[in-house]
Every structure is written in C-alpha cells, then in structure tokens.
Amino acid sequence: MRLTIIGATRGIGKALCEQARAAGHHVTAVGRSLGPASSATLTHVRGSILDEGVAEEALEGADAVAYCLGAGAYGPDKGRPVTIFSETTERLMEAMRATGVMRIGVITGVGSGDSRGHGGVLYDTIAMPLALGAIYADKTRQEEMLRASDRDWTLIRPTVLTHGPYTGTYRVIEDLTGFRGGTVSRADCADCLLRALAEHRWSRRAVVVTGGDGR
C-alpha cells in the first residue's frame, strides 16, 4: 500500500509512519519539520496541507491517506474558535477528488460527534468544557464533512492518549452504550489506524479505540 500521512512529525502520525514502513508499505509523510528522506520506502513532502499544491503532491499515486493532525500542534488562541481541522479536511477532500484517492482514515477523538459524553467524569465535566470544547466542536464539523462526502472514510476516536508502548491488545468499540472513558497509547492508536486502511476495516464507520485493560 502507498500511504500518505498528514501530520507525520509527531504523536500518532509519527508512530504510524514507523509501523507502516516496518510492515512494508510505502509512506509519503507530510509535515513542516521533516528530516531528510533516506529510504526508498519514505517520501517527504514538506509544508502544511493548506499550502498551495502540497496536498496534491502528497496524494499523487496514493492508495489511502491517514489524517493525524493533533490539537497540540494547533492550540487555539484563547477565546477564538478553532477551524484548523475542518479547514484542512476541506482542502484534503478537494485534493482527493482531484487525484482520485478514495480511502481515508481520520483521527478525531472521544468528544466529537455522537461520542460526546463518553470520555469519563473528569474529561466530560472539566477538560471538555474548560479546555477542549472549541477543539472538539471543530472535530465534530470535520466528522460531518467526511460523513457527507463520497469518500471511503473511517473515523478513529481514541480515548485519552498516553505515551505508553505498543501492546496490540487495545479494544475497538462501535456501540458506546455504557462506555465511559479510558486511555490508549499513541502507538496502539496508530496500529488501529493502519489496520483500518491496510485491511479495509470499519468502512464509513466511526469507532472508539481504548486500552485492552479497559482503562
């Protein structure tokens, strides 16, 4: 598979880049601060997806695209609405239509769309209203854009992310009835996204990924 990763310089995107290459896939990594590309299995496209021509260059010849931009890189100015996720998704959809790429996997998070209220007591009552509300309002807009599109999308909604190791024992949940929060490592979340794209799982569906121990 030829996989384009948006937001490949840190977090889930960086872990996905490493895992995909280890599995024998070719990766086109998009980011502002990428190092030298030294392998036949890795192509670097430097810049933001919003820069002119970057999206089209990155998607040329791709079988699928992984969207891994995180809130940490685009923290909101206090009091201002967040639009980075919906803006970059709109640009990416335009480039996908232009290049004919159909398959996309997107990292959003618990708190977006119909997963709101399933993050656990502290997350839902403190973190969401005080710190994350504007971010997840835009992630919800992002999800709505994908659902309304003609692309073959999968939404991956991780619970609270950790820097823990890859375990491969995480849980993938579709029915959120009775579900309240948890944690998952970025490495396990990346593995879930890679499975979604390489194995064509959870097509046009939204899933939550959380640690296999239930925490």
pLDDT at 33: 81
Mean pLDDT across the chain: 90
User: Quick one: pLDDT band at residue 153, thresholds 50, 70, 90?
Assistant: very high
Residue 207 pLDDT exceeds 90: yes
pLDDT at 131: 63
pLDDT at 120: 74
Strands 171-173, 205-210: parallel, antiparallel or unpaired by DSSP?
A: antiparallel
Question: How large is the average pLDDT for residues 15-36?
Answer: 93
pTM over 0.75: yes
pLDDT at 155: 98
Percent of the chain with pLDDT over 70: 89
CA distance 71 to 74: 5
Question: How large is the average pLDDT for residues 128-135?
Answer: 74
Surface-to-core class of residue 89, CB atoms within 10 Å of its CB (0-12 exposed, 13-18 middle, 19+ buried): buried
CATH architecture of 2-210: 3-Layer(aba) Sandwich (3.40)
pLDDT at 134: 86
pLDDT at 194: 98
